[in-house]
Structure formats: structure tokens, C-alpha cells
């Protein structure tokens, strides 16, 4: 079985892979994440996930399977990235409040000979958010590095009134679909040593 590498700096994706008992090593995958002109949200996350997997593979010597993933929060067809500053974050929360939006997560795996990918869309509904709540939430520090300016697995959970789709995909990695992709590369879930792994970082 080829070793698995995670081409992501996201601690949430590390936690999710660990949750299903898959051993892995983190590797770097620096890529340009700028959307292309007229690029749809689905095409965007799929392109980035594949690019991260390929970039991670390029850093390695020897047989390996690399997993890349990307998540986008989408409102009315507009991709909401990480907020640039406080005002941007508050504006995002105001736009998301009392509305339903989509969270798209693409996962791509590559071993240099075979490449497979999947994109999962989930619908998330927010309740109304007061200006005071949005300000306090920004002050917590949580929204600063999150797509869409919130974390469903963190303090931002209080805003969520409904979810259709995959909770783990909204966090950053659709576990059911990821497990199916991993199986096609001969990588099994529930590997006992991985249930409390020592995750190392590839230099």
C-alpha cells in the first residue's frame, strides 16, 4: 500500500482524516488560489483540489498517494473567501444572515498514474445575526482565516439553523466520499494505529 500524504495546512482536514483512522503525512502544496475569469465555484474548487494534489506529489520521491482538497462558501454564485479585514468579515456575516448558502468541497487524489476527484455540495442556513453578535464573533478571532468568515465546527455553529448535505464537507473534508476515493487506491479506513497517530510534516 502506498503511503498517503495530505497536501493541506488545514488542521481541520488533519483531524477529519485522523477521525476515520487513516495514517498520513502532511506535505506542502503552495499554489495560486486566484479564481479564473468567469470560473464557476464547482470548477474552482475542483481545479484547486487537483492542483494541490499534483503540487504535493511533485514534492515527493518514491511511490505515494497525495490528497488535495479545497472548500468554498458560495452565496448567489459568488465565492466568499477568507475575510480581508474586520469590515469584510462583518459584511460577509450580514450577507449570510437569515439566508441559505452553499458550501462546496472538492477532494482529489493522485499517485502520478491515476487521478480521481469528487465535489460535494451542502446547503447551510443561517439565522438572523445582530451587528453586536457579528462584532463579538469577529473579536473571538475565529472568522479571520475561514472561508465565508465562519466555522461550523466552532463558535460559528450558533448561527446555523439547518444543514442539508455533509457536515464533514462543510468543515473541510467529506468523509464518506473521501473514504470511497481512498479505497480505490487501496487505502483503508479504521487502521488501528492511526486512531491516535503521530502525524509528521514533510519538509
Biggest CA-to-CA distance, the chain: 53
From 61, 70, 76, 88, active-site residue: 70
Whether 145 is catalytic? no
Residue 131 has phi, psi (to 5 degrees) of -60, -35
Q: Is 9 helix (H, G, I), strand (E, B) or coil?
A: coil
User: Could you tell me if 92 and 76 are in contact, meaning their C-beta atoms sit under 8 angstroms apart?
Assistant: no
Burial class (CB in 10 A: 0-12, 13-18, 19+), 40: middle
- The DSSP letter of residue 119 is E
Asked whether 107 and 49 are in contact (CB, 8 A), the reply is yes
How far apart are alpha carbons 20 and 74 in whole angstroms? Answer: 27
Residues with catalytic roles: 70
Amino acid at each position: 500500500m502506498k503511503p498517503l500524504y495530505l497536501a493541506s495546512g488545514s488542521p481541520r482536514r488533519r483531524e477529519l482524516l485522523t477521525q476515520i483512522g487513516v495514517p498520513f503525512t502532511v506535505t506542502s502544496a503552495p499554489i495560486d488560489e486566484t479564481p479564473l475569469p468567469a470560473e464557476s465555484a464547482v470548477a474552482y474548487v475542483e481545479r484547486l483540489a487537483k492542483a494541490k494534489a499534483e503540487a504535493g506529489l511533485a514534492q515527493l520521491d518514491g511511490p505515494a498517494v497525495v490528497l488535495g482538497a479545497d472548500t468554498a462558501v458560495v452565496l448567489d454564485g459568488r465565492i466568499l473567501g477568507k475575510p480581508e479585514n474586520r469590515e469584510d468579515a462583518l459584511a460577509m456575516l450580514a450577507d449570510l444572515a437569515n439566508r441559505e448558502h452553499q458550501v462546496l468541497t472538492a477532494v482529489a487524489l493522485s499517485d502520478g498514474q491515476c487521478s480521481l476527484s469528487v465535489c460535494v455540495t451542502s446547503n447551510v442556513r443561517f439565522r438572523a445575526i445582530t451587528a453586536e453578535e457579528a462584532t463579538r464573533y469577529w473579536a473571538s478571532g475565529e472568522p479571520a482565516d475561514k472561508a465565508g468568515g465562519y466555522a461550523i465546527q466552532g463558535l460559528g455553529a450558533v448561527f446555523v439553523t439547518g444543514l442539508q448535505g455533509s457536515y464533514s464537507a462543510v468543515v473541510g473534508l467529506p468523509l464518506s466520499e473521501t473514504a470511497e476515493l481512498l479505497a480505490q487506491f487501496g487505502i483503508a479506513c479504521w487502521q488501528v494505529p492511526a486512531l491516535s497517530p503521530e502525524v509528521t510534516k514533510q519538509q
